[in-house]
Structure 1
Amino acid sequence: METKDVFALLTCVLLIASGGIYGIKFLRKGNFLLGLEWLIVAFSGSNLLIFLLTQSQISYGISFFCDAFSRGFGIPIVTVLGLMAVTHNYKPSKLKDAAIFAITFASTLVMIKSDFMAKPLPYFYVVMWFAYSAYLAYFIARLARAGERLHALGVTVAAISGLIVACIYDFYPIPGDDTKAIFLSIALVTWSYMMIQLYYAFFALERAKACAR
């Protein structure tokens, strides 16, 4: 096993830990949208790790579905709605949370199974990530106005790096990275950082809003 493959495995563990720990933290704080999405990312990482170690096609299929969900709907829609709890006081009921996940899961299934989506799917992912990045720009501005400039900078790094990963995912393979181990490591570290940074930025903004009242 090459060094880059070992690093890819380690970044899988990092993704699992980040999504699991901070997903549970969000759930305990009452934000089920962000908590469950973070746990879905961790679950995807767990199955990816199993696939890399055992070549299990079942684990690959689960990871593939979860990855498609998060890229198409989980991050661009569910995460934005979850962050809107602090930017717009959007706090849906648990029933609405369940409906949001049910609709986005069903949409993901249609998206990956429909022949008409095969060609435009990579472009769809990028468009959705640009929409998510646009909201993050607003979120960053809110952090800056609240005096949380360090968190604003941290989310800016997460937004830019995440957008770069989204753009090169299907379009710009890294030279010499035939197994995608290098790209995988970069992507998983980026997503891990994003989940951790958004957790702390979310509650920093929440505290700043409370102090301003």
Structure 2
Amino acid sequence: MELLCLLADIWMTFAGFVYGWKFIRHYDNYLLGLEWLIVGTSGMNALVWLLLGGNQDSLQVPLVYFFDAFSRSFGITLIVVLGLMQVTHRYKAPLAVDIAVFALATGAGLYLQQFRFPEFDLGPATFYLVVNALTTLFLIYFSLRLWRIGAKRLAIGAGLATAAGTAVALMDDFFRIPGDDATRTTFYTLALATWGFQLCAYYFAYRALHNHNARMGAEPMSGQHSVTTSDRGEPTTSAR
């Protein structure tokens, strides 16, 4: 099971770095790009920790809890919603908003990282549950938008990723997998694999909506670049 956990972490790290860079490079979407890169960095930090033996006194442990709190509070919630709105509502957040939401997530991560397993605190757990539920409502809408443009497989994939992410969020605080060990290896194997799946599924779903909007002439432009589509379906930028 330890090997599976290691592989799941590598998968999530790969998805975070690769698709995070693609969000920035191809779509000029720094909200999603940076959040994906942060998740990738979190996975890399956890990977180093696992390879060094998983010592609870390791310097990586505080970072593990910080990155977890960062993403669960306002990262894979508010930041993701604002980032996806670029293809659902043609809304590109101004730089001030980008900075503000990342500062908010950083502050939340620094504060909430103190609440650590195996201790249970109802306040943070309820907060995580509420923000996840609100984000899930938007992601259901996001999947429906994909279905309506005919991207049914991607819509199903995004929907399954959202459902799996919600299940993981519930297990994180309120449920325990029977027979799991003291370090929750089974849970974290499922969680890391699920988070990697989410990063991948949302990227391809975003790409489909972006390309649909571009064909309809509805994709917002940013900066001094025009957007064209490459043979692989990836947009490329060229200076005007």
- When normalised by structure 2's length, the TM-score is 0.82
Cα deviation code 1:21-78 (max 9, x no counterpart)? 0011111120000000001111111111122222262111112101111011101100
Aligned partner of 1:155 among 150, 154, 158:
158
Q: Counterpart in 1 of 2:192? A: 188
Structure 1 unpaired stretches of 5+: none
Tell me how far apart the structure 1 counterparts of residues 36 and 91 of structure 2 sit (CA, whole Å): 19
- Superposed CA deviations along residues 107-157 of structure 1, whole A, max 9, x for unmatched, are 33233459xx94311121111111111000110111111111111111111
Q: Compute the displacement of 1:209 (Å).
A: 2.1
Instruction: Give the alignment of 1:57-76 within 5 angstroms.
Output: 57-76=58-77
The alignment's C-alpha RMSD in Å is 1.7
Higher strand share goes to which structure? 2
The residue aligned with 1:40 is 38
5 Å-filtered alignment, 1:1-213, equals 4-28=1-25, 29-54=27-52, 55=55, 57-113=58-114, 118-178=121-181, 179-213=183-217
Map of 2:237 onto structure 1 = none
| Offset, 1:88 | 1.1
Comparing 88-97 and 19-28, the one that deviates more: 88-97
**Identity over the aligned pairs, expressed in percent?**
39
Aligned-partner Cα distance in 1 for 2:61–2:111: 18
Taking structure 1 as the reference length, the TM-score comes to 0.92
Report the structure, 1 or 2, having the larger helix content: 1
Question: Letter of the aligned partner of 1:187 in structure 2?
Answer: A
Structure 2: runs of 5+ lacking an equivalent: 218-240
Contact 1:112–1:118, Cα closer than 8 Å, also in 2: no
The 4+ residue runs of structure 1 with deviation greater than 4 A are: none
